[in-house]
Amino acid sequence: MNLKTIAASVLGIFVTFQYNPAAAHFGMVIPSENIVTQAKKQVEVSLSFSHPFEMVGMDLVQPNKFYVKSGDKQTDLLGTLKHTSIMNHKGWQSSFAVKRPGVYQFVMEPQPYWEEAEDLSIIHYTKTIVAAYGDDMGWDEPVGLPTEIIPLTRPFGNYEGNSFSGQVLMNGQPVPQAEIEVELYNTESFKAPSDYHITQVIKADRNGIFTFACPQPGWWGFSALNEADYTIKNPAGEDKGVELGAVLWIYMNRYSK
């Protein structure tokens, strides 16, 4: 191998490891409906871990917690989870019968995921919000997670093209200049013009508030990433950093005649 070939190979490896904008991970909690009516009272909820725009899945081991909260009532749903395949990888499925009006927040706390390429563990506290039978009170209430996104725009009853605003909290406090990654759950196989378009990136203001306009119908995921103030041992027994993700999924409806 001549020097020119070696240099080209080294450059290719350098570029690959230094820049990979399409590598965003998202915890996913996706319900069959985000608005429950008398015609559709049962909500099927899918849990997964993936690169949603690229439709590339990863195995999700059974979460540490999965529950639904409405008002002051919290219902443990961990025992309802069943194995399923999502994007050709291990995921989970649950079914929940909505019996009364309310706003329901479905929440997943996964087990830590060791990401060797980033040399850290990942924990994405993931939630989505479902409205039932005309009630729309409480959609802006925090669940009380270590980190979460609080909607400032009602997270249901929205059309494609609407903007969405939220606030990033860490330990109950706003995160100034938080960075938020945004991806579409790309079930319709939209093509990205470039790698930059796969994961959109927003910077929150000094109060942790951000706004994003969703150009396509479907499920949109917002993931605010921050470093934990503790470490977790990696598979080799070494103490490593932890990335905490506050992930929220909302749905934008298509306009129809």
Q: Give the model's confidence band at 195: pLDDT under 50 very low, under 70 low, under 90 confident, else very high.
A: very high
| Mean pLDDT, range 57-79, rounded to an integer | 96
The pair of structure tokens assigned to 123 is 């924990």
Q: Answer whether 1's CB lies under 8 Å from 175's CB.
A: no
* % the chain with pLDDT above 90: 87
Q: Give the model's confidence band at 111: pLDDT under 50 very low, under 70 low, under 90 confident, else very high.
A: very high
Q: Answer whether 228's CB lies under 8 Å from 240's CB.
A: no
Q: Evaluate if residue 16 carries a pLDDT over 90.
A: no
The CA distance from 33 to 48, in Å, is 17
pLDDT of residue 18: 38
The pair of structure tokens assigned to 171 is 């330990």
At residue 201, φ and ψ (nearest 5 deg) are -130, 130
Element (H, E) at 93: strand 89-97
Q: What is the pTM of this model?
A: 0.90
Strands 173-174 and 26-31: unpaired
Strand partners, 57: 50
| Mean pLDDT, range 94-99, rounded to an integer | 96
pLDDT of residue 9: 43
Q: How do residues 122-149 score in pLDDT, each as one tens digit?
A: 999 999 999 999 999 999 999 999 999 9
Q: Is 44 helix (H, G, I), strand (E, B) or coil?
A: strand
pLDDT of residue 10: 37
The CA distance from 130 to 248, in Å, is 12
Q: Give the model's confidence band at 17: pLDDT under 50 very low, under 70 low, under 90 confident, else very high.
A: very low
* % the chain with pLDDT above 70: 91
Q: Is 108 helix (H, G, I), strand (E, B) or coil?
A: strand
What's the CA dihedral at 169, 172, 176, 180 to 10 degrees? -10
* DSSP character at residue 254: P
Q: Give the model's confidence band at 23: pLDDT under 50 very low, under 70 low, under 90 confident, else very high.
A: low
Q: Where are the alpha helices (DSSP H) in the chain?
A: 3-18
Query: Could you tell me how many residues make up the chain?
Result: 257
| Mean pLDDT, range 74-78, rounded to an integer | 97
pLDDT of residue 21: 45
More confident residue, 256 or 231: 231
pLDDT of residue 13: 37
